[in-house]
Copies of this chain bind each other. A is one copy, B any other.
């Protein structure tokens, strides 16, 4: 396996390339000069109860709960617009044991979701954190509906690595389906994100408590020296909801040198590590940073996350097939967890297509709509072929082998059991038949960083020396480590971020004021 992975990742990089990565790529932050943690200021420019850094799912949920609990909040966003990776997230949320599953006769439970998370995470998950996310999945989904006013489609999705279909999809089709109503709700409550406000320092006093922050107002990403310094006193707490480091080339190559500039990412340009670095700088504890997830459903024919994942995951994984285009054979359970699938694609030398037939395309029209499909086709991401022969010819695939692969799968459909790869059979699983056929060239890209700052189940940051909570510092969402172990299941970031964002907001608001 390692040799095969080397085909993509094993090129000989020099230390200079790693250490110089920050300079080499525009999306990577320019690092400041080294110094000790910032001292307490003599006076503060502003004072609030809770400072929340980041406006993705976790930051917005934290701000909502803190404000609801009566705390005054400052909600900071370093980029020009709020939402982070969440607003471009795929918009699927897992709720295990939901009323809708019951209606559809799908047996599920928090325990089953927890076990799915452990299995995908190679049992490296911090059990209490993973269990808490799973146990709060239904109530948190309900909260998005009842309190936030989010709208979801009624068609449950089956995401890779999950034992059963349990994922709701937002009506908007992306994470914006919760980000936008959360922003609207916060606006009603008088909370507006302050954009272009970079967290520069976390102020930790000699007594060990975090008491405020230094921000750079008017920050211009990625210049960490830009903007005007300003101190904000946090009487109750500071919440880091600053996301992962998928787009921080210098940080991620220190943890995994294979993930150099040749590997694309689905993340937005602001998914860099400066807040994680500052957290570590004042004594928070970095855990499990080696586990960087590559999304298996991205395309070689567009940059970043793009639009291919919607088509690949919701259509080809459940109703189509993934094959090595040189052999015409399947090589993985198309509904396996992300790490299993991404590793498998890489092991095939990235010579993989995900395809469906006319029947799958009908599902795609229902789920994605004609507008998105037309865009996917006109941009060349989804390629259309009138016949199987035409698709095989395009990729140089041995036709007989491809036909045999389809015949084996159709026999599995008839039998109600995928003998070849053990894929879950959908209730409406259909045989793959006549054209047209639709194919995407798969290419895994950096998607989620499982590691982060260690937290308690109350979302308190843990001190690297004492392993006790750092008073006044909370971490939620991708910035926190441990929930997902070695590999996160699809639709569980949304869950994780909302669950721990809410917990962080509630607990920060309930801290005693230190001043």
Contacts and interface: CB of A to CB of B under 8 A. Distances in A.
A487 to B, nearest CB: 10
Contacts of A206: 35-36, 39
A302 interface: no
A126 B34 contact: no
Interface string A14-54: 11101100100000000111111101000000000000000
A466 B31 CA distance: 5
A254 B454 contact: yes
Contact of A2 (B14, B119, B255): B119
A381 to B, nearest CB: 30
A132 to B, nearest CB: 9
A9 interface: yes
A127 B467 contact: no
A34 B129 contact: no
- Specify the main secondary structure of chain A where it touches its partner: loop
Interface in A429-477: 451, 454, 456-457, 463-470
A281 B204 CA distance: 12
A109 to B, nearest CB: 15
B464 A280 contact: yes
Interface stretch (A148-156, A285-293, A351-359, A409-417): A285-293
Interface of A: 2-3, 5-6, 9-10, 12-16, 18-19, 22, 31-37, 39, 118-119, 122-129, 204-208, 250, 254-258, 274, 277-278, 280-283, 285-291, 451, 454, 456-457, 463-470, 482, 485
16 contacts: A5-B122, A15-B127, A18-B126, A18-B127, A19-B456, A31-B465, A31-B466, A34-B283, A34-B465, A34-B468, A35-B207, A126-B257, A254-B482, A281-B283, A281-B465, A290-B290
